[in-house]
Structure 1
Amino acid sequence: MKPVKALQRKPLGLGQQPALLIVDVVNGFTDPACPLGTEADSVVAANITLMKAFHERGLPVFLTTVIYRNEQQARVFRDRLPALELLTPESDWVKFDDRLPMADSDIVIEKTHASAFHGTTLSAKLAEVGVDSLVVTGLTTSGCVRATAVDGLQNGYRIVVPREAVGDRNHNAHDANLYDLNAKYADVLTVNEVIAQLL
Structure 2
Amino acid sequence: MLEATYTEAGFGRPVRRGHRPAVVVVDFSEGFTDPSFPTGADMSAEVEACAVLLASARERGFPRVFTTIAHDSPHDATTWWDKAPGLRTFMAGSRAVRLDERLGRRADEALVVKRGPSAFHGTDLAGRLTRDRADTVIVCGATTSGCVRATVVDAMQLGYPVLVPRECVADRARGPHEASLFDMNQKYADVVTLAETLAHLAGITAAD
* Aligned position for 1:87: 90
| 1:13/1:187 contact within 8 Å kept | no
2:131 aligned residue (123, 128, 131): 128
SS at match of 1:5: helix
Where in structure 1 do 4 or more consecutive aligned residues deviate above 6 Å? none
1:26 is the counterpart of 2:54: no
For residue 171 of structure 1, report the CA deviation from its aligned partner: 0.1
* Aligned position for 2:114: 111
Cα distance in 2 between the residues matched to 1:68 and 1:98: 21
Structure 1 regions of 5+ residues with no counterpart? none
For residue 4 of structure 1, report the CA deviation from its aligned partner: 6.3
Alignment of 1:48-197 (within 5 A): 48-70=51-73, 73=76, 75-197=78-200
For residue 105 of structure 1, report the CA deviation from its aligned partner: 2.0
Relative to structure 1, the CA distance from residue 104 to residue 90 in structure 2 (aligned partners, 3 Å threshold; closer, same or farther) is closer
Cα distance in 2 between the residues matched to 1:26 and 1:99: 10
Structure 2 regions of 5+ residues with no counterpart? none
Q: What amino acid is aligned across from residue 149 of structure 2 in structure 1?
A: R
| 1:73/1:112 contact within 8 Å kept | no
Relative to structure 1, the CA distance from residue 162 to residue 85 in structure 2 (aligned partners, 3 Å threshold; closer, same or farther) is same
| 2:74/2:88 contact within 8 Å kept | no
In percent, how many aligned pairs have the same letter? Answer: 39
Q: Which structure dedicates a bigger proportion of its chain to helix?
A: 2
Cα distance in 1 between the residues matched to 2:76 and 2:56: 35
Q: What amino acid is aligned across from residue 58 of structure 1 in structure 2?
A: G
Relative to structure 1, the CA distance from residue 3 to residue 115 in structure 2 (aligned partners, 3 Å threshold; closer, same or farther) is closer
Aligned length: 199
Could you say what the CA RMSD is over the residues aligned between the two structures, in angstroms? 1.7
1:41-80 Cα offsets, whole Å, 9 max, x none, are 0011111001100000011100000000135656111111
Cα distance in 2 between the residues matched to 1:103 and 1:74: 33
* Aligned position for 2:5: 5
